[in-house]
Amino acid sequence: METVKPPASRPAARSPWVPFLLRRLVGLVAVLVTLVVGTFLIVQLIPGDPARTIAGSNATPERIEQLRTQLGLDQPLWTQFTDYAGGVLRGDLGTSFANGQPVTQIIGDRLPFTAELALIAIVLVLLVSVPFGMAVAVACRGGRRRPLDTGFSAVTALAGAVPEYVLGTVLVLVFAITFTMLPAAGAASVGALVLPVLAISVGPICTMARIVRRETAAVLEQDYLRTARGRRLRAVRLYARHALPNLMTSTLTLGGLILSGLLGGTVVVEIVFAWPGLGTAVVNAITSRDYPVIQGVVLVLGLLATLLNLLVDVVLGLLDPRTLNGKAGSA
């Protein structure tokens, strides 16, 4: 009599988060290596002798030689790179030429101001652009209210194209100089946040709202949403529960790039409003040829942008687990 073997048990399904996080970790390491190499080359790519350029035309040969030793330029290139990379891994970004402070201390003092502006701006962009874009898409569904749709497209395209520093200058002229409603510069009060945050946020709000409007229009034409409308659900439940989760997947995919670019806008706007963040620090460092500070700020800003993209990917994975395997779509 033939013995029947029991069916082989299927291996337990592995969580998609494991390969997802491994891929993102590899990507994070690759970006970090690229940032370290790029910031190292900032000094190496200075035309001529970097020590002479930093010291100025009136520097003595002794001062130039001292700077060469301080920068490690008297060492072989590979030794210079390994010393720099080792310092980055230890959290040692060097010492400022201008005031002798550790670069990590300068960044630590300035980073909270930049983070405050950027985080408030990111929250404002999401809170305004998503409802704004959805509302226009719902109001113009099926080709209705053409003037509203045309006006929305024209205004958001125009406002989104205005550079942050130009918008910041206009805001200072109107609200700080003409009407004296808000402070023009500094970080001495809560009111000083208003104009910089607006200058940073208006462009991303317009761009994100256009993306949300387009994605909402596509979601509204899906069969499942037509069925939901046929059941006469309340508007809040219909759009917040059935439309929003599906349009947020594609919106955040593109929005991650916009929010990362917002960091660059923050750095520029800080100069306009004399905000004591990383943007002001890096401009002062460029003016004074303080290369360790430039290297440190560029490294930190690049890492922050990478972490922000990683956070967006994690949020996408929570909203739509199909994105963990590189697959997404409307339900």
What's the rounded Cα separation, in Å, for the pair 190 and 181? 13
pLDDT, tens only, 243-278: 777 777 777 777 777 777 888 888 889 988 989 999
CA 80 → CA 42, 52, 137, 291, distances in Å? Answer: 13, 18, 56, 15
* Domain count of the fold of the chain: 2
> What amino acid is encoded at 164 in this protein?
E
Q: Which is more confidently placed, 56 or 8?
A: 56
CB of 134 closer than 8 Å to CB of 212 = yes
Is residue 214 located within the same domain as residue 312? yes
For range 170-189, the mean pLDDT: 87
Residue 131 lies in a domain: yes
Residue 269 lies in a domain: yes
Cα-only R_g, the chain: 26
Is residue 57 located within the same domain as residue 123? no
Domain boundary among 90, 119, 141: 90
Residue 190 lies in a domain: yes
Is residue 161 located within the same domain as residue 294? yes
Taking Cα atoms as reference points, which of 209, 226, 219 lies closest to residue 249? 219
pLDDT, tens only, 114-137: 989 988 998 899 899 988 998 898
For range 79-105, the mean pLDDT: 88
Residue 172 lies in a domain: yes
Average pLDDT, the chain: 82
Question: Does residue 151 carry a pLDDT above 90?
Answer: yes
Is residue 141 located within the same domain as residue 279? yes
Residue 28 lies in a domain: yes
Residue 17 lies in a domain: no
What CATH number is given to the structural domain containing 303?
A: 1.10.3720.10
Query: pTM of whole model > 0.85?
Result: no
Structural domain that includes position 245: 111-325
Residue 103 lies in a domain: no
CA 146 to chain centre: 34
